[in-house]
Structure 1
């Protein structure tokens, strides 16, 4: 990982959009609809509002010290020792987060396109690619995002358009047959994945060029709105096409692609669409690994972070192969434990640093006056 050059606010926002949408657009619709039924889109609205609040918090922290990363901000207000204690759980959960993304990649391949391929083969190849990408650095992946983003979102829009002949708007009713409870439960799940995960971007916001910090907030909010609208459109389309089955069939967007048949010319394109959607998984895992390596470098005082890229990737590979051998265990963890774990390991340290920073900032200003 070479010395990094600053990236633009648009490039970071594209990485943020890829991170938020990449895997969630494939995974989220089915479990969300399974819990909340036809009111799943309401759950997304609630979770999106919570995501907006989190994004506001990390952007405000960055506004107070735009040239500092999260670790550097923590050291400036909490001291080196306390920052280490507060952010080590953050780094440990990042390890599992990377592993969890690749676990989902393996499950997706095993259930859809490559049913006979061993999971370890898929996971190993992905971690090799992710490690090489992290070695190349954030500049390279930021440039790649500009190309692959249009490919991924183009495929999503294409699916939603080509399957429109199968839409049955009456499937959207009733919206809340079982009351508000399931909707709040589903909003808790989707808050945990992907909205609470956005906090990790506080580690790399300092990469943005100084002259573009004023534009960063606008671009990040636009990216989050696009992400929310994409997830809502995917959920509503799944319900209108699949009806009561939308909560039982995993990978709803892939299932919709299987149903596409246009004039007997465009048929059975789900493999192409599926490979395109895999790009989203790849980008998310690569961004997480880059964030983790940067955090470890600053926490441990590493001079050459390149030396730990592949050892960290190997640890994540071992976690992905041994942590959850049953798909049901992973589903339960994501629905029940993951939102709480994210709040404790990701959100709480950032909010602590934010609160102390704000107190010190205003106390210093009052002294100057």
Structure 2
């Protein structure tokens, strides 16, 4: 049996950043701007604040017993039966999440870059590489993702800098053309993806090395803040570049990169952003697969959890090929159903166990 090696807080923060950022910086702006219009950046602030609240609950439980995630806390306080009751919808959520990530990569390639290639080829190879990455171990993933995350951030920032001449600040006004309701709608979308997913990532916190757990909270909060600032920057730049069209252009950062043409020398920069999208989605898919492997292994009490990696991968591949018949159904599921389902099956259990723990701690004092 191969034991999962503990990692440093820096490596965990890097994994957390990769999980949050993933493909969000490229995928989030369009549906967010579509819902909230010019107030999309306010939606990010609201969703980010809710994310900070969730991570506060997570670390309250974590400091009570760093060896347990919130599913472990449920089992400890209420027994295995209730733990299974909460775990089953979370497992289903992780399967859906992994399949959606893979489908997004396939849709991107078949609509933007490699239109003649069938999407199942992208699904198969991304899932295969993710499965092989999970088998290499948690620490190897953490070290590798530092480089990949640097690539994603570097080219995203370069694109924003090179497109500054196309920005029109006046497009940011009026901030609330239709009142606060669209902003709340945008915050709901942004909360479901990716901030509620913080709860799913928290299942990995016990893997941090015991000697470094004290500094983990500060680094995780810092990651959430930096992620929010990057999303605000991306949303604002896309609005300034495209104005009223910003909410209609899918893969907004990719479309932004297409504007770059410096004396016919620096061109086709969107190819790098396309690769960045794949890199970000691959990192998130790999981390999701690892969480799913760990959770299922714990539920079934497996001695060697690695044996279920490829069965999980196969199920996810089949789901990615059969869940939807067209891209419209996929878009509706991701933007409407997914945030609600994630909030119900992840936020409610977390708040429930946090309140119970608060009450018990209060009674023990």
Pairwise same-fold verdict (TM > 0.5): yes
Gaps of 5+ in 2: none
Per-residue CA shift, 1:242-290, capped at 9, x if unaligned? 1111111100100111111223321112112211231110000100110
* TM-score normalised according to structure 2 size: 0.97
Matched, 1:100 2:100: yes
Residue 298 of structure 1: aligned partner: 298
Q: 2:33·2:246 contact (CA, 8 Å) conserved in 1? A: yes
Given the alignment of the two structures, is residue 357 of structure 1 paired with residue 357 of structure 2, yes or no? yes
Residue 60 (structure 1) shift:
1.3
Alpha-carbon offset, residue 356 of structure 1: 2.5
Aligned residues: 365
Task: Confirm whether residue 113 of structure 1 aligns to residue 108 of structure 2.
Answer: no
Summarize the alignment of residues 153-164 of structure 1 with structure 2, pairs less than 5 Å apart.
Answer: 153-164=153-164
> Which SS does the other structure have where 1:301 is aligned?
coil
Q: Deviations over 1:148-202 (max 9, x none)?
A: 1111101111011011111111111111111111111111111111111111022
Structure 1 unmatched runs, 5+: none
Alignment of 1:206-217 (within 5 A): 206-217=206-217
Q: Distance in 2 between matches of 1:63 and 1:325?
A: 45
Residue of structure 2 in register with 1:332 after alignment = 332
Partners of 2:277 and 2:343 lie apart in 1 by 28
Q: Does structure 1 retain, via aligned residues, the 8 Å contact 2:155–2:272?
A: no
Q: Are the equivalent residues in 2 in contact too, given 1:39–1:183 (CA < 8 A)?
A: yes
- Structure 2 Cα separation of the partners of residues 246 and 69 of structure 1: 40
Q: State the partner residue of 2:41.
A: 41
Aligned to 1:173: 173
User: What SS is found at the alignment partner of 2:324?
Assistant: coil
Q: CA deviation at 1:104?
A: 0.7
Equivalent residue runs for 1:128-147 within 5 Å: 128-147=128-147
- Is 1:346 matched with 2:350? no
Looking at structure 1, the residues matched to 31 and 126 of structure 2 have their Cα atoms a distance apart, in angstroms, of 25
Q: Distance in 2 between matches of 1:2 and 1:25?
A: 35
TM-score (norm. length: structure 1) = 0.96
Equivalent residue for 1:265? 265
Cα-Cα RMSD: 1.3
Superposition deviation, residue 342 in structure 1? 0.7
Assess if the C-alpha contact under 8 Å between 2:58 and 2:70 holds in 1: no
- 1:196 counterpart residue number: 196
